[in-house]
A and B are shown apart, each in its own frame.
Chain A
Amino acid sequence: MPSDSVLRLVWIYPDLLSTYGDQGNLLVLEQRAKRRGIPVESIRVKSADPVPETGDIYLIGGGEDRPQILAAQRLRKDGGLHRAVARGAAMLAVCAGYQIMGSTFGGEEGQPVEGLGILDISSGRGTVRGVGELVAEVDSALNLPTLTGFENHMGVTRLGPGVRPLAKVVTGVGNGDGYEGCYAGHLVGTYLHGPALARNPALADLLLRWATGEDRLPPLDDSRFEALRQERLAAVAGQ
C-alpha cells in the first residue's frame, strides 16, 4: 500500500491517447478500490503537464499514429513514468500505449519510431488490421480467467526475453505471433483496447493487488461483469 494509504491512479495523456473508451479502465479500477474501502485519488495528466512519480497504478491508452508519436516524445522527455516504474509502480498499457513502451514502434508511414524502452518489446506495422473480439488464455502463472475484449490495430509486437506473454490467443490477432500482450514485474501491456478491465475485472484486481501489496482482496458482487463476459465469450464461440 502507498505510504499515505491513498491509492493513486494516474491516467497518462487522456488528451492524446484516449481514442476509445480508455476512461473505462480508470473508472473500473476506481470503483473496485472504493467498493473495498480503499481511498482513491485519480490523476488525469494532460500531455503538457509533468507525469507525477508517486502514482501506484499508471494507465495509458490507445490513439492514432500522430498522437502516439507525440506521446512517446513527451514521455521520454518528461521521465516521470520511467522513475515511477523504477520505483515499482504498476501499469496497464493499452494498444498504442502498449507499443510505445517498447524499444521501437511503427510510425505514420510504418517507419520505426523510438519508444520508451520500459518493456522488452518492439513493434512494427503489420499488413492487415486486426479488428474484432479477442479471446485468450492467460499465462498460468498469473492465475486469471480467460481474457476477453476487443482489438483494433495494425501493430505486430515481438516480445524479448525480459517479458512474458500475457496470454495465448484463442480467437483474434494480439501480438501477431499467437500470443496477446505481455507482462513483466507489475507492468502489463495489451492490445485489448478501450475498457479492457470492464471485460476482465480479475485483471483489474491483479493490478490492485500489486499496487496494494495485498495477496487477497475482499470479493465483490461481479454478476454484471460476469453476465457481459459470458455473453461475449458465447458470441465469439458461436461465430
Chain B
Amino acid sequence: MTQLPLRAQLASALGRGAATLSRLTGRGDGSVIGGRVGLLLEPDLLRQLAQDKKLALVSATNGKTTTTRLITAALLELGEVATNAFGANMPAGHVSALAQHKAAPYGVLEVDEKYLPEVLHTTGAGVICLMNLSRDQMDRAAEIWLLAQKWRRALSGKPAHVVANCDDPLVTWGASTAAKVTWVSGGQRWKEDSWCCPECGGPLDRKGNDWACRECTFHRPEPQWVLDDDAVIDPHGRRWVLDLKLPGLANRSNAAMALAVAEAFGLPVERALPRLREVTSVAGRYTTVERDGRYARLLLAKNPAGWLEAFDVADPALPVILSVNAQGPDGRDTSWLWDVDYRILRGRPVFVTGERRLDLALRLDIADVPFTLVDTFSEALAMQPPGRVDVIANYTAFQQIRQEFGRAV
C-alpha cells in the first residue's frame, strides 16, 4: 500500500487512541468515537484509507450488520478484511474500521442508507450490496422513495458493480442506474412499502416474488442468483443448501446476497459458503444468554419489517419477552408499533417491558393478544419457568439487555 501522508497518519493514530479510550471507559464499542476524532483532523482521511482497498459497501434498511459480517467472513478466505463490525455505519465508523486494518487488502463496510451516496463518492468502492428498503424510524430516517432516488443518482455513471435484491421493487429502482448489476432473488417479506411503482406510481402487480408495473414498463429483472427455500441457486444453476447457524429466512436471504458479493470478488461458492456457516451471532443478535436456568435468545427488531423477521425466527412453542424503547437511535415515535401485526403471538405467554411498554401494551390490547406487563427485563426473565425463552427488543432496549449480561454477547 502507499504511505498515508503524515497528517492523515497522525489523525488515524489519534482516532485509534480515542477508540481504545472509549472502550476502556466503557462508553461503547469505540468504533464511532475513534472515527470522529480522525475525521475532525483529516476530512480526506476516508478517501485515503479506502484508496488501496478492494471495498464492498453494504446498505439496506434491515440486515446490513449481519450481511456485512457474512461477507467479511467469506472474504477472510482471500485475506485480511477491514470492517465496521459493530454497526457504526456512518463515515466516522468507516474511518475507524479502515484505520484499524490499514494493511488489509479488502474492506467490507456497512453503510447507513442515507450516507451511501457520500461514502460511495468518497471511497470509490468497487462493489455495492443493496438488499431492502422499508419504513424505518421516520423522525430521523429519510423517506425511502427519496432515498432510492438518491441511490439512483449516486450510482449513475459509476463503474461500481452492484449486487441487488430484485425482489424489492424500490431497491431495484434504486440500483438500476448502475453500469453493472447482479440481481439476486432474495425474497421480500415486508411488502407494505412497495405496492406502487417507484418509476411512475402505478399499481404493481405481484405474484410470488415476481412483480411488474401495470402502467409502465418497469418490472422485476431476471435474477442470476435465487434463494430457494433453504438453498441458493447460483448463476450456473447449481443448488447449494445453505445450512447456516444463523436462524430464519432473513438470514438465508442475507447469505444469498453475501455469496453473490463474494463471487464479485472472485471467490466461488464452494469456498465462501463454509465460511458463512461458521457465523453464529452478530453483535449479540441471535445469542442466547443464561441466568438462573433461563436461556434467553436475543432477537433485534428495529422496525416493522424487522419484527416480521423476528417472528419468523421466534419459536411459537416458547414464551416471548418484548421490550420497546423510544430513545434517539430507536426513533422517538412509537407509531410503527401499529404497522406490526402482533396477532401471531396469540396463544403464547407474552411479557411486555421496556421504556415504552405502555405503547406496546395498548397495541397488543387492540390486537387481542393477552400479555403480562412487567417493569423491567430482569423481572420478566425471573417470571419465566426454567428453560428457553425468546426476547424481541428494539435497538436501545436490546443494548440495555446486552449490557445486563456484561456485553459478553
Contacts and interface: CB of A to CB of B under 8 A. Distances in A.
Contact of B338 (A23, A31, A70): A23
Interface string A3-18: 0000000000011101
B10 interface: no
A177 interface: no
Interface in B329-355: 332-339
A70 B143 contact: no
Interface size class of A (residues with CB under 8 A): 20 to 34
A47 interface: yes
A131 interface: yes
A18 B337 CA distance: 13
Given A18-B192, A46-B203, A228-B359, A152 B143 contact: no
Contacts of A20: 135, 138, 333, 335-336, 339
Contacts of B146: 64-65
B295 interface: no
B54 interface: no
Contact of B332 (A14, A21, A23, A132): A132
A48 interface: yes
A89 to B, nearest CB: 23
B203 A24 contact: no
Q: Indicate the member of A21, A28, A31, A70 with the most B CB atoms within 10 Å.
A: A21
Contacts of A14: 192
B361 A224 contact: yes
Contacts of A22: 338
B195 interface: yes
Contact of B336 (A21, A225, A228, A231): A21
A216 interface: no
Contacts of B312: none
B365 interface: yes
B196 interface: yes
B216 interface: no
A48 B335 contact: no
A17 to B, nearest CB: 11
A77 B218 CA distance: 24
Interface string B189-229: 00010011000011100000000001000000000000000
A contact patch SS: mixed
Contacts of A231: 358
Contact of B333 (A31, A66, A194): A194
Contacts of B203: 15, 46-48
A121 interface: no
A27 B362 contact: no
A11 to B, nearest CB: 12
Contacts of B337: 21
B365 A224 contact: yes
A64 B359 contact: no
Given A15-B195, A21-B339, A23-B338, A224 B333 contact: no
B306 to A, nearest CB: 15
A14 B191 CA distance: 12
A227 interface: yes
A231 B358 CA distance: 8
Contacts of B240: none
B366 A31 contact: yes
Given A47-B203, A48-B203, A70 B196 contact: yes
A198 interface: yes
A195 B338 CA distance: 7
B303 to A, nearest CB: 10
B145 A64 contact: yes
B346 to A, nearest CB: 15
Given A64-B143, A224-B361, A46 B195 contact: yes
Contacts of A225: 362
B362 A228 contact: yes
A15 B196 contact: yes
Interface in A195-231: 195, 198, 224-225, 227-228, 231
B135 A19 contact: yes
Contacts of A131: 139, 332
Task: Please provide the 8 A-B residue pairs with the shortest distance between their CB atoms, ordered closest to farther.
Answer: A194-B335, A24-B338, A21-B335, A21-B338, A15-B195, A48-B203, A64-B143, A20-B335
Interface of B: 135, 138-139, 143-146, 192, 195-196, 201-203, 214, 332-339, 358-359, 361-363, 365-367
29 contacts: A15-B196, A18-B339, A19-B135, A20-B138, A20-B339, A21-B339, A22-B338, A23-B339, A24-B335, A24-B366, A27-B338, A27-B367, A28-B366, A47-B203, A48-B202, A64-B146, A65-B146, A67-B196, A70-B201, A150-B139, A152-B333, A193-B335, A194-B338, A195-B335, A198-B363, A224-B365, A227-B358, A228-B358, A228-B361
Given A66-B145, A224-B358, 7 more contacts: A15-B203, A20-B135, A23-B338, A28-B366, A67-B201, A131-B332, A228-B358
Interface of A: 14-16, 18-24, 27-28, 31, 46-48, 64-67, 70, 131-132, 150, 152, 193-195, 198, 224-225, 227-228, 231
